[in-house]
Chain A
């Protein structure tokens, strides 16, 4: 290989390295650094609440996390009502409640399950077990 060919290869490699560096999302670095500094001392759920994965509806994650913490140990699954349509809503619900099974808007929750309602609406005659800002846990009708 001639020197000029080696030089061309060196220039191409340098150009490639420069391009992968230019393509880095440098602008987000300060935001990331601030986010780590702000959220690192907080508990894990707060860190998720402040993160990208819940940005589509932070109230919804707060609802799910509150429901999870209030869930009776005996609950065999969670039936969710009032959840807006959309894949992120479905995925996050399953992830938060794992390993408990989750159903969205089932006609009637299976026996042993608990119903969680997102939002202020309450079905008539529902027995509210726990209630908080974003929703409530409701005993399924027998």
Chain B
């Protein structure tokens, strides 16, 4: 066990330092209020991971070796910038449910739900760390690029130009490969087993973001813990297969983006900055990140009322900058799996029919219960933004297979279960917020 534990401690140490660095950087977007603590923890990890990842291309551009000096310099610059431009404290009142929540029955229920959330984290830890990351998309795409960048000490142009590497989707963003390479530079070696630890950390950060946002918006501890427990135990997202893939970090990014967008439309302090940062994070993580950023802007413009423009002007530029940097580095590359002239009503119908066959009875029962909860909840202004973003994502994931070169059925079977699973934290937030001050 010793070898692996030492390797794990190395990655854990890097993650802890990055989390701390992200904590200092998070002052730029999260108020120092106690009410923000859980969300600040989540943002700290997201920004810490972003510092590790961005250290790699910035080091290459500056012609310095990626490693601790570069990381610490970047972390210090981020912390200093965040301190200078920190978000002011808001002194928002605590949710008015403290007395109800302190009843012994509620405390026991909260503890039980917390235990289920911890169980979900524990189960994912075991699944993620059983063996080196192995799924096809890790080996062929994310891991291959990260390992190549780390071992070559640069971003070789053949990653984008070599026809024999077309299976690795050269058109995908490089955020996750840079995170892998950055972690390897900081630990001093490429270790695709210990690095799997990053994924349960993304899960933990997601749970903090969900719990914190729900609490800050008036959900009881029990409601927030219930949502976190269900997400923590949601195996289609936190599976052995998705360990190493971009869906797990994207799920965190989408939740941060959705909640920031909702906050921005409600006029919360620091929310525009969070929207801008989350928009950049999701665009750097997966191709659809840019789509979600654009969808968020469209939702804001169409339904956002008098505050519609500010979130749009916050989200779009950062997403476009990240996308533009990718274009500048690798050039414009076609989406390998799609032919947008191939869509037809028959193919859409085939995609929907194929999607309907996927869930099985447990999956359908889960969807039915989700819809029941949605209907039982009360209208919540913040929740509708998350719900709209979720619907935009699900709609795209259902429609895109109609344009798949290898056929709708192929894309539905190979991608839909995991891509749609990344929407789970967003959906949990959208539904649970509809029960604030209700289940008391």
Contacts and interface: CB of A to CB of B under 8 A. Distances in A.
A6 B438 contact: yes
Given A1-B378, A10-B439, A16-B370, A94 B140 contact: yes
B135 A19 contact: no
A21 interface: yes
A94 to B, nearest CB: 6
Contacts of B365: 15, 19
B143 interface: yes
Contact of A53 (B1, B134, B158, B234): B134
B144 A52 contact: no
A16 B365 CA distance: 8
Contacts of B99: none
Interface stretch (A40-48, A111-119, A124-132, A134-142): A40-48
Nearest to B360: A23
A9 B376 contact: yes
A9 to B, nearest CB: 4
Contacts of A9: 373, 376-377, 435, 438-439
Contact of B135 (A17, A41, A53): A53
B366 A20 contact: yes
Contacts of A32: 126-127, 130
B226 A17 contact: yes
Contact of B362 (A23, A36, A104): A23
B288 interface: no
19 contacts: A9-B377, A10-B439, A16-B366, A16-B370, A19-B366, A20-B230, A24-B123, A24-B235, A35-B131, A42-B3, A50-B131, A53-B131, A53-B134, A88-B136, A95-B144, A99-B147, A99-B149, A99-B156, A102-B164
A98 B144 contact: yes
A37 interface: yes
Contacts of A103: 164
Interface in B160-177: 162, 164-165, 167-168
Nearest to A94: B144
Contact of A94 (B2, B5, B168): B168
Contact of B164 (A12, A23, A51, A101): A101
Interface residues of B, number: 58
Nearest to B1: A40
Interface string B11-53: 0000000000000000000000000000000000000000000
B436 to A, nearest CB: 11
Interface string B230-253: 100111000010000000000000
Nearest to A26: B123
Contact of B5 (A20, A22, A40): A40
A104 B373 CA distance: 53
Given A25-B235, A92-B139, 13 more contacts: A12-B373, A13-B226, A16-B373, A17-B229, A19-B369, A32-B130, A40-B1, A44-B132, A44-B191, A47-B193, A51-B131, A94-B140, A98-B148
Q: Which 7 A-B pairs have the closest CB atoms?
A: A53-B134, A51-B131, A99-B152, A91-B140, A40-B4, A99-B151, A99-B148
B134 A17 contact: no
Interface in B164-216: 164-165, 167-168, 191-193
A29 interface: yes
A29 B126 contact: yes
